[in-house]
Amino acid sequence: MSAIATPYFDAHAHVQAPQFDADRAATLDRARAAGIGGIICAGDDVASSAAALALAEREPDVWATAGVHPHEAAAAGDTALDELRALLAAPRCVAVGEIGLDYFYDRSPRPVQREWFARQCALASEIGKPIVVHSRDAAEDTLAILADWVAAGAVPNPPGLIHCFAYDRAIAERFLALGFLISIPGTVTYPRAETVRAVAAWVPEDRLTVETDSPYLAPQRWRGRRNEPAYLSETVRQIAALRGLDALRLAQMAATNARRLFKLAAAPEDAATRGCR
């Protein structure tokens, strides 16, 4: 990790994924050269969560999450929850995720998605770690499950992150009311992304993070290619312009929020981040 200028923090990526098998080390080198000071690698199932943790335990600027994605819920075995619990006991595994609901693809039956989402929320309460939520075309059910979870008490503070946010401001307000942070991906740079740009321009500064969701959703400049953490600055520049801020200040603000959520130490002070304030 560079000690000179690392103002960026990628709050959600999948660098452990097979798409990076040929050049994972080079991908991380490019990220560091681009000023990325931290990356959260999110799991989709037990195997990918274990791979994320193995990467995090090798790399000082990478952390992992462990969870069953809604796409994988139908395939999750009887031992999956115990296997996730074991992974989440590791200090470098900082959240339960990504978990949630996806009614766009419906790759798992909706009742199964909801069951696994609720079970993993309960696991987060048990272990005291936040959740990373995937929600696509499922806002009302996502909010209902999260509202029940928060109302039951014993949730982390903050409770978690709504990753790859794609809903409108009215829905964002309801997630914020439950205590969640909002993570904005590279889609904010797409020409027709008016809804997500409106949210990115408005989210309170202490509730905003930024992400690549690598290898998916590359910013417009690289659209159609594999995404990677080094491209995060393009997303940051777009959001900063929407908010009338200097890009480095926006990057530092988002990084501070991510580190607070995942209970990570602050990044070392340097000339670049001091100039952001």
CATH number at residue 231: 3.20.20.140
Mean pLDDT of 86-115: 98
Give the chain as a DSSP string. Answer: --SS---EEEEEE-TTSGGGTTTHHHHHHHHHHTTEEEEEEPPSSHHHHHHHHHHHHH-TTEEEEE---GGGGGG--TTHHHHHHHHHTSTTEEEEEEEEEETTT--S-HHHHHHHHHHHHHHHHHHT--EEEEEES-HHHHHHHHHHHHHT----SS-EEE-S--S-HHHHHHHHHTT-EEEE-GGGGSTT-HHHHHHHHHS-GGGEEE---TTS---GGGTTS---GGGHHHHHHHHHHHHT--HHHHHHHHHHHHHHHTT-PPPPP-HHHHTT-
**Residue-level pLDDT at 268:** 58
Decide if 2 is inside a domain.
Answer: no
Decide if 219 is inside a domain.
Answer: yes
Decide if 125 is inside a domain.
Answer: yes
Q: What is the mean pLDDT of the chain?
A: 94
What angle (nearest 5°) sits at the alpha carbon of residue 54, between those of residues 57 and 50?
Answer: 135
**Residue-level pLDDT at 223:** 97
**Residue-level pLDDT at 31:** 98
- Residue 219 one-letter amino acid: P
Rounded to whole angstroms, the Cα distance separating 88 from 107 reads: 25
Tokens standing for residue 23:
């050049």
Over the stretch 8-44, which tens digit does the pLDDT of each residue have?
999 999 999 999 999 999 999 999 999 999 999 999 9
Is the model's pLDDT at 120 over the cut of 50? yes
Decide if 187 is inside a domain.
Answer: yes
**Residue-level pLDDT at 270:** 40
Provide the domain limits for residue 141: 8-274
The model's confidence at residue 133, banded by pLDDT at 50, 70 and 90, is very high
Is the model's pLDDT at 276 over the cut of 50? no
What does DSSP say about strands 160-162 and 181-184: parallel, antiparallel, or unpaired? parallel
The model's confidence at residue 5, banded by pLDDT at 50, 70 and 90, is low
**Residue-level pLDDT at 4:** 38
Decide if 250 is inside a domain.
Answer: yes
Over the stretch 188-238, which tens digit does the pLDDT of each residue have?
999 999 999 999 999 999 999 999 999 999 999 999 999 999 999 999 999
Rounded to whole angstroms, the Cα distance separating 7 from 36 reads: 7
Mean pLDDT of 143-172: 97
**Residue-level pLDDT at 266:** 81
Rounded to whole angstroms, the Cα distance separating 71 from 243 reads: 34
Is the model's pLDDT at 255 over the cut of 90? yes
Decide if 1 is inside a domain.
Answer: no
CA–CA distance from 231 to each of 46, 87, 151 (Å)? 27, 29, 38
Q: Read off the pTM.
A: 0.94
Rounded to whole angstroms, the Cα distance separating 195 from 171 reads: 11
Decide if 244 is inside a domain.
Answer: yes
**Residue-level pLDDT at 103:** 98
- Dihedral pair phi/psi, residue 148, rounded to 5°: -65, -40
Is the model's pLDDT at 6 over the cut of 90? no
**Residue-level pLDDT at 53:** 98
Over the stretch 55-66, which tens digit does the pLDDT of each residue have?
999 999 999 999
- Dihedral pair phi/psi, residue 242, rounded to 5°: -65, -30
Q: How many domains does the chain have?
A: 1
